[in-house]
């Protein structure tokens, strides 16, 4: 318990007065001196306690600040980790999309190559068909020319035989057969050389 200043002043005044009468009250003076020393010790203890309390408060505040800073650092660390995880996920998604795009590109290139090969094959087939058609046309023209020559010869032979009579053959029967065969050959050749209309179906 702190002694009030008024009590202290009264005690000091009493102590001064008692020092003047030291011979009469020596034990009381010692008691008062002890009380004053005790009061000074109490004041010093109160000051030390106040300083210790202030230091403890300061340390508590520093601890609170440190804990706040630590919590902030942990939150920032967690946020950085979360951002890193998101970045890794985005990178994986981008890599997957890139792989898919490369796969589609390769498939498109392969399809383009197949189309080019098909186009080259179709062109080669078209050229082959054209060459075969030209060759068939040339062959047809050659055969028509040969058939025309054969037809002309058959017509001339038939005309000659028909005018020469049966003397042109060893026998009448052979003569008739020759005329029949030549006539049939002439008919077949003329039919073959006659252009046919394309069918409507």
**pLDDT at residue 24, rounded to an integer:** 55
DSSP string, 35-102: HHHHHHHHHHHHHHHHHHHHHHHHHHHHHHHHHHHHHHHHHHHHHHHHHHHHHHHHHHHHHHHHHHHH
Least-confidence region, from 16-20, 60-64, 121-125, 178-182: 16-20
Residue 3 clears pLDDT 50, i.e. is over it: no
Cα separation, 55 vs 177, in Å, equals 150
199 pLDDT band, cuts 50/70/90, is low
pLDDT, tens only, 160-191: 677 766 666 667 787 778 778 878 877 887 77
**pLDDT at residue 1, rounded to an integer:** 44
Residues 160 and 168 sit within 8 Å (Cβ to Cβ): yes
pLDDT, tens only, 142-155: 777 777 777 777 77
**pLDDT at residue 110, rounded to an integer:** 93
Query: In whole numbers, what is the pLDDT of the chain averaged over residues?
Result: 79
**pLDDT at residue 74, rounded to an integer:** 92
- If phi over 0 gives left and psi between -120 and 50 gives alpha, with beta otherwise, what is residue 165? left
Cα separation, 45 vs 39, in Å, equals 10
What residue has token string 């179709």?
A: 122
Cα separation, 70 vs 63, in Å, equals 10
**pLDDT at residue 141, rounded to an integer:** 82
Q: Residue 48 corresponds to which tokens in the numbers above? A: 């030390």
Q: Residue 189 corresponds to which tokens in the numbers above? A: 């050749």
Residue 169, phi then psi, degrees to nearest 5: -125, 155
Task: Give CA angle at 132 (131, 135), nearest 5°.
Answer: 85
* 182 CB-near residues (< 8 Å, 6+ apart): 154, 157, 158, 161
Whether pTM exceeds 0.75: no
User: Percentage of the chain with pLDDT > 90?
Assistant: 28
User: Where do the structural domains in the chain lie, given as residue ranges?
Assistant: 5-193
Q: What is the largest CA-CA distance in the chain?
A: 208
């Amino acid at each position: 318990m702190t002694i009030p200043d008024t009590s202290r002043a009264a005690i000091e005044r009493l102590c001064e007065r008692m020092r003047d009468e030291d011979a009469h009250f020596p034990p009381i003076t010692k008691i008062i001196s002890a009380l004053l020393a005790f009061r000074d010790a109490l004041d010093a203890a109160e000051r030390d306690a106040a300083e210790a309390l202030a230091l403890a408060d300061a340390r508590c505040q520093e601890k609170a600040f440190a804990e706040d800073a630590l919590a902030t650092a942990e939150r920032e660390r967690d946020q950085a980790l979360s951002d890193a995880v998101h970045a890794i996920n985005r990178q994986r998604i981008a890599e997957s999309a890139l792989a898919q795009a490369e796969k589609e590109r390769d498939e498109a290139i392969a399809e383009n190559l197949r189309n080019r090969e098909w186009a080259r094959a179709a062109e080669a087939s078209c050229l082959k068909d054209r060459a075969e058609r030209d060759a068939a046309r040339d062959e047809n023209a050659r055969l028509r020319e040969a058939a025309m020559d054969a037809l002309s010869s058959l017509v001339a032979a038939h005309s000659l035989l028909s005018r020469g009579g049966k003397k042109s053959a060893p026998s009448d029967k052979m003569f008739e057969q020759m005329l029949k065969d030549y006539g049939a050959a002439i008919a077949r050749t003329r039919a073959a050389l006659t252009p046919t209309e394309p069918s409507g179906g």
